[in-house]
Amino acid sequence: MRALVYLGPGSVELQERPAPCVGADDDVVVKVVGTGICGTDRKILHGRFPARPGVVLGHESVGLVQEVGAGVRSLAVGDRVVVNPTLYCGWCPPCVRGATNFCRNKTGTEVGVDRDGTYADGVVLPERFVQRVPDGMPFRGAVLIEPLACVLNNVRAAGLTVDDTVAVLGAGPIGMLVAQVAARTARCVVVAETDDYRLSAARDAFEHVVDVSRTDPAEALVKAFGGDRPGVVFDTTGSGLDDALRLIDDGGRVVLMGFDDGYEVPLRPLRLTNRGIRLIGAGDFRGDTFPVAVDLAGALGLERLVTHEFPLEAYEDALGALGGVGGGTGRRYDAMKVVIRSDTGPVGADGWPVGA
């Protein structure tokens, strides 16, 4: 099969790899239809998030069940499915108490990071990490279920209430999902962005979006809140902690979501204790969050965030649209959510292969 392999920062290659096959009774082989490009993929390619050279990238994936092991009961060949790439062992102390997101046996299990991922024609995973997509859900919405699970995990960690005002730093797909989910509870949500393309796309999807490309983000957002400071700030960029701390109200919560291994900021603890500020890192989502994301996805119109699709062989153009590698435009954006299509045969109105 074809597979997009990570060679090192700034370097990927389309290779031929052995097709996945059932090796255990609970294995499910998924014929990949498409995979969304995640901000983590972009950080890997820029050398700002670690991944194993030689791994197949990709983890935000949907597809069709191609083969199942003898012990599989919840899925059948031909089912339309979404991949849960956040694997866990189920028997270590954190897993036993339900904190599967902090599984102690993660090495070699991070799909698309140190375990082969889904920028490929197929992938094999245990049954519990493959879930059926509800009837009628379009492909373009289903491909955002995994990012939505990440967002639900972080919004839950923030403990939002109807009294909260919320600022979201970054209007990429994750930022827009945070805004949509937070707006279901909080009384006011404002999104801040610097990139021209994403500003325009975000304004088409959400009412309160502020351009902070030419001004101080904290100053611009305080103005957007009518002179007040928000009680909750979500940093979806991975490099906005300093802005968040200058923006947050006393007694507020700052949720750190973005992944950027190269970002550092000096921090005086007294700055937090005197003002009663809480810094929150939620980690990966728990296993029981993923089914909630599947159920919620249909109500959010997630397919609106998918702006570009490319066949697997055009991966350079796909990654370039997000400032990754290849023929793109450096670190600026030319797309919102980009999907790499592995199955490019005839498709129906919902984007799935005809007959799926």
Tens digit of each residue's pLDDT (9 = 90 or more) over 195-207: 999 999 999 889 8
Q: Is 62 part of a structural domain of the chain?
A: yes
Q: Tell me the whole-structure pTM to 2 decimals.
A: 0.94
CATH number of residue 65's parent domain:
3.90.180.10
- What percent of the chain has pLDDT above 70? 97
Q: Is 100 part of a structural domain of the chain?
A: yes
- Judge if 124 and 155 occupy the same domain: no
Nearest to 42 by CA among 135, 112, 91: 112
Q: Is 93 part of a structural domain of the chain?
A: yes
- Judge if 294 and 232 occupy the same domain: no
Q: Given a cut of 60, is residue 313 above it in pLDDT?
A: yes
DSSP 305: G
Supply the pLDDT for residue 329. 40
- Judge if 61 and 196 occupy the same domain: no
CATH number of residue 173's parent domain:
3.40.50.720
Q: Is 351 part of a structural domain of the chain?
A: no
Last residue of a domain, one of 239, 260, 280: 280
- Judge if 227 and 329 occupy the same domain: no
Distance CA(285)–CA(288), nearest Å, equals 8
Give 201-204's long-range contacts (Cβ < 8 A, gap of 24+).
201/171, 201/307, 201/336, 202/171, 202/175, 202/176
Supply the pLDDT for residue 331. 57
Q: Is 347 part of a structural domain of the chain?
A: no
Last residue of a domain, one of 280, 299, 330: 280
Number of folded domains that form the chain: 2
Q: Is 246 part of a structural domain of the chain?
A: yes
pLDDT, tens digit (0-9, with 9 covering 90-100), for 247-305: 999 999 999 998 888 888 888 999 999 999 999 999 899 999 999 999 999 899 899 99
CA 189 to chain centre: 20
- Judge if 246 and 163 occupy the same domain: yes
Domain range for 133 is 2-145+285-341
Q: Is 174 part of a structural domain of the chain?
A: yes
- Judge if 76 and 192 occupy the same domain: no
- Judge if 221 and 201 occupy the same domain: yes
